[in-house]
Structure 1
Amino acid sequence: MHTTVLLNEAVDALLETGVERGPVFVDGTFGRGGHSRLLLSRMPAEGRLIAFDKDVEAIAEAGKIADPRFSIRHEGFSHMAQLPAASVAGVLLDLGVSSPQIDSPERGFSFRFVGPLDMRMDTTRGQSVAEWLQEAETQQIAEVIRDFGEERFAGPIAKAIVARREAGSPVATTADLAELVAGTVKTREAGQNPATRTFQALRIFINAELEELEQALEASLRVLAPGGRLVVISFHSLEDRIVKQFIAKHSKEVYDRRAPFAAPKPMLLKALERTKPSEAEVSANPRSRSAVMRVAERTEVAA
């Protein structure tokens, strides 16, 4: 069962948009539709909601919504760049992996279940993690685990993966990888599985999650109308750092040092709030504890 994190807070932030006439909203990560369904129940009758998702199971779930104001696209959220400029009243990006994805052994997202080492958000295209590990060089694997998992034992883990492959028994399942990492990482934070950082890193890499997030944030600047809202829910520090820095970068005037007397480039966003789940929400849904929601508003100035 999937419990939508910061459900009311996110929808409230979107609906406080300064765009009133025929508002168009974007749900960049439909998932199991928690945010979309609540937004549809509360948004104006003349509004529209365009959702995106890479997951074929999410697309199937979206097919259950009969509301004519709703449409879904089987694409990553960076494809919102194809929408008309200044046409959107609100963009929601709920990052990370949904509970149904984590809890499905065949998806390979979690070391808690034995299944194929897949981890693709979109199972209809691209390489699985297992396929990539069959051909990647030691240095490539180490860089991915270090950069996307902030894993200090990335080097030894990568060497162990390649050594196992060269011995004729490549890592193919979640159990294979979890056991290999546990045998390589000798120390770990209390309460954290040794494989946590490695699984996170490989998932982020194989789905190009951070690159797509950066592209989507840039796209949001173009498609949001003045007064429109950008709402992003992150679940780990790498994502939140990108969102925080993006909002900060565009929330200030930029001066050209080569033309000191020229007017500065105006700010494009106004940072509004940073919200964490309440104690009650964390108690009811422990997976929400790391969530951070950041909200910004598109300024009146055209890009």
Structure 2
Amino acid sequence: MSTPSGPGDVRCEPGPGRTHGETGRAIDGERRQLTNLAYRLLGSLAEAEDAVQEAYARWYAMPREQRRGIGSPGAWLTTVATRICLDLLGSARVRRERYVGTWIPEPLPDRTEWISGPADDPADRVTLDESVSMAFLVVLESMTPAERVAFILHDVFRYPFAEVAEIVGRSPAACRQLASSARRRIADARTPAVPATEQACLVREFKQAWEAKDIRALVGLLDPGATMIADGGGLVGAVLRPVEGAGRIAQYLLHIADKAPGLTLLERTVNGRPGLVAQSAGMTVTVAAFDLTGGRVRRIWAVRNPEKLRPWTENGRDGRT
């Protein structure tokens, strides 16, 4: 089985005559590909890291002779990591039914805005393209685990359906149907693409209106049918249900500004798109991602769950190196 190209792909397959050390380095070189895949499958960097680590643990638990007999270690790791993710997705659906409030995928900063940390931090290996935008990840959450895996493997990472079938344990025809169903979900939710520069300008105007507590300006920047969803996970205060309508969202934002007068808003890249970060006493407390339509904000996803803000809060930094 080959390892197709995908976001952040690092193809490392052992050749004849490789020493054990060379093979080990090649195996370690697969981490970027595996982390990219697992994050898109799970929507959580922490869970993705655990899944990749478990795949490596299973690899090194095999006898050396058995490992040497595997023609493509990268493909083996991809298969194992994907199956681990598939199992996690099944159990995650049950866990998220008990989640306090709405579960939102874990937001990631841009590499240039990443906090200082270990050189091998797994988030450094996540390529921030359109397939990790918050809007895209939220649609993935609406899919069945099998749909999500088939779609990500085929449409994002370009695996042939024959290989997808081998990984997920279904027929190629079934995998085609799963990916097609997932594709329809994506198409139904898709809005016209907005250039990053245009989104950055709108987010800046939104930030300035929020800081000025200008409710008329906020309402004007929001689509009349806009929705705001907050994720506190029951660990911090957050509205448990979506806030709908431009007027209600604007009022809610002003309520937050009045309740936390020392809040600082920063323009940051969130999952590859312009967003906002709110800080209190120098610590990140909220990361907001935006979806635009017709020159206005259509959706806001505000992540407040501190367990999902690890990349933004470690060591007290603000997410910028």
TM-score between both structures, scaled by the size of structure 2:
0.24
TM-score between both structures, scaled by the size of structure 1:
0.25
Q: Point out the structure with the larger helix share.
A: 2
